[in-house]
Amino acid sequence: MDQLVCKNFEEFKTYEGKSLPVGQWVLVTQEMINAFADATLDYQWIHVDVERAQKESPFKKPIAHGFMSISLLSKMLMDLMVIESFAMGVNYGLNKVRFPHPVPVDCNLRLHSSIQKIEPYAEKGLKITWDCTVEIQGIEKPACVAEFVSLMFES
């Protein structure tokens, strides 16, 4: 996988309006889904009851929580780039989110993204709007399409 490497925010800002490299595949396991259920207290059977999902679900297996796809965006984006002067980042919000296709257990996801907008934020900070599409390997519709906003700060 290619990785975007920038010395500092000035260099990073030159990527505004451009696509980032395609991300690496991330395997979604039942253990990840169960851990997400534990963290969010969302134990709906379609996510955590393997036997019931096999019998009653139209998908014939458990599916990940939709919000799990969103929560993977930070990790997936940070895997795509290195900014040497980067000190920390925080999530700012989401402008648009859709979950066009459920994420079946034991599938692979990867990120397709671009940097829509970069704005100054406070001292030594940037507010970045990312266009993100989370692809499911072998499935035409994406798991998630989102306009994700984050803050990044330089050291």
What is the per-residue pLDDT across 32-53, written as a single tens digit (0 to 9) for each? 999 999 999 999 999 999 999 9
Is 69 domain-assigned?
Answer: yes
| Mean pLDDT to the nearest integer, 112-126 | 96
Average pLDDT, the chain: 96
Is 6 domain-assigned?
Answer: no
| Mean pLDDT to the nearest integer, 4-19 | 95
Record the pTM: 0.93
Is 9 domain-assigned?
Answer: no
Which domain CATH number covers 51? 3.10.129.10
Q: Mind listing the pLDDT tens digit for each residue in 136-155?
A: 999 999 999 999 999 999 98
Contacts 24+ apart (CB under 8 A), 118-125: 118/12, 118/13, 118/16, 121/151, 122/153, 124/87, 124/153, 124/154, 124/155, 125/151, 125/152, 125/153, 125/154
* 8-state DSSP, 60: S
Is 3 domain-assigned?
Answer: no
Is 116 domain-assigned?
Answer: yes
Q: Which domain holds residue 91?
A: 16-154
| Share in percent of the chain as helix, strand, coil (round to 5) | 30, 40, 30
pLDDT of residue 2: 79
pLDDT at 1 over 70: no
- How many domains, in total, are found in the chain? 1
* Residue appearing with tokens 């989370």: 134
